[in-house]
């Protein structure tokens, strides 16, 4: 059962990943990327890593795709993306092939049977208990909010400067 | 196995969500089959107004500021989600923790408000 679901999801992932690099229009590429990120979230879900799946949907499909869509909206339409064949793609193809073959050997060569997957560790409840139940984790948690605040203020500052010109 | 059963509602939701627009487009293509084609009939529907220009125009940079703010609060949600799940189990201490967290980020929203990020510079007109 699980292997069938996994096969379907990975087929969708690979097809949409091919769609990202082969679409003629940038909007279709972004849409394919969204589908790909969602199916990666589904892979996390069948591995019982539900928190990771939720984060994948929230941050990647929510945040990154929104940023990409807005970047597309802000560019001028006369800058239509042209899929030009790069002059020399042989080194890139060679590097990607070597990497893929190496990865394949690594995957086949390892004994993955011993890994049972994060059955309970990845659940939202456990992560919540870990973050909020330990007193010493309070300071790091508040520092996260400061980091986010700094990122937000910095983005607003830079964005306003651009817009003001 | 394990979690797969829990995701059956989500799978049904996805299937219905995909089927819904497909059926809508299919049925309207059945009903609205054009007997006498005219150029006007092939115009893109834009609430009854004759469409002008391309759908892909350059939008205001203000939209991007909204997107940036959205992403920051999106990441905030990631931290609030596990808190909401264990809310009943943990004490008041964690709640105060989270309230401080939200307050710190609210300063960012106040800053954005003060800087006028949430306002439109040229009256909202986004075309050139």
Q: Is the entire prediction scored with pTM above 0.80?
A: no
- Give the B window 74-113 contacts with A, CB below 8 Å: 74-79, 81-86, 89-90, 93-94, 97-98, 100-102, 104-105, 107-108, 111-112
Whether chain B has a CB inside 8 Å of the CB on A149: the answer is yes
Supply the CATH number for residue A40's domain: 1.20.120.1200
Contact A153 B108 (CB under 8 A): yes
State how far the Cα of A24 lies from the Cα of A71, in Å rounded to an integer. Answer: 17
Indicate if B68 and B33 belong to the same structural domain: no
Give the pLDDT of residue A32. Answer: 93
Q: Quick: pLDDT tens for A30-81.
A: 999 999 999 999 888 887 778 888 889 998 988 889 888 888 877 765 555 5
Q: What is the dihedral of CA B79, B84, B85, B87, to 10 degrees?
A: 120
Whether chain A has a CB inside 8 Å of the CB on B69: the answer is yes
Is residue A164 in some structural domain?
A: no
- Give the A window 8-37 contacts with B, CB below 8 Å: 27
Tell me how many domains chain A contains. Answer: 1
State how far the Cα of A33 lies from the Cα of A19, in Å rounded to an integer. Answer: 8
CA distance A89 to chain B (A): 31
Is residue B79 in some structural domain?
A: yes
Residue A102 has pLDDT above 90, yes or no: yes
Give the pLDDT of residue B126. Answer: 46
Contact A132 B94 (CB under 8 A): yes
Indicate if B38 and B67 belong to the same structural domain: no
Is residue B102 in some structural domain?
A: yes
Give the pLDDT of residue B75. Answer: 87
pLDDT (average), residues A79-95: 70
Those residues with Cβ within 8 angstroms of residue B3's Cβ, 6 or more apart along the chain or in another chain: A45, A46, A48, A50
Mean pLDDT of successive 10-residue stretches along chain B, which has 128 residues: 67 92 91 76 78 71 80 87 84 84 88 79 50
Strands of B32-126 (E only): list them.
Answer: none
């Amino acid at each position: 059962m699980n292997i069938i679901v996994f096969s379907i999801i990975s087929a969708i992932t690979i097809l949409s990943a091919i769609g990202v690099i082969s679409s003629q229009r940038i909007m279709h590429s972004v849409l394919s990327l969204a589908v790909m990120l969602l199916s990666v979230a589904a892979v996390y879900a069948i591995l019982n890593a539900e928190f990771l799946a939720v984060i994948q949907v929230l941050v990647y499909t929510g945040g990154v795709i929104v940023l990409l869509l807005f970047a597309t909206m802000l560019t001028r339409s006369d800058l239509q993306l042209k899929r030009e064949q790069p002059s020399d793609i042989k080194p890139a193809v060679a590097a990607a092939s070597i990497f893929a073959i190496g990865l394949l050997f690594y995957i086949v060569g390892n004994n993955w049977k011993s890994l049972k997957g994060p059955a309970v560790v990845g659940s939202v409840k456990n992560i919540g208990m870990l973050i909020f139940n330990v007193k010493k984790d309070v300071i790091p948690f508040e520092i996260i909010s400061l980091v986010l605040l700094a990122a937000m203020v910095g983005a607003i500052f830079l964005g306003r400067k651009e817009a003001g010109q | 196995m394990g979690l797969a059963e829990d995701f059956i509602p989500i799978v049904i939701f996805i299937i219905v969500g995909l089927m819904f627009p497909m059926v809508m487009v299919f049925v309207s293509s059945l009903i609205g089959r054009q007997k006498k084609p005219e150029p006007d009939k092939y115009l893109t529907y834009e609430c009854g107004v004759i469409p002008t220009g391309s759908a892909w125009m350059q939008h205001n940079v203000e939209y991007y500021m909204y997107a940036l703010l959205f992403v920051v609060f999106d990441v905030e949600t990631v931290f609030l989600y596990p808190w909401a799940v264990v809310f009943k189990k943990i004490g008041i201490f964690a709640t105060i923790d989270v309230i401080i967290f939200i307050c710190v980020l609210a300063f960012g929203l106040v800053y954005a408000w003060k800087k006028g990020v949430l306002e439109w510079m040229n009256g909202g007109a986004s075309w050139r």
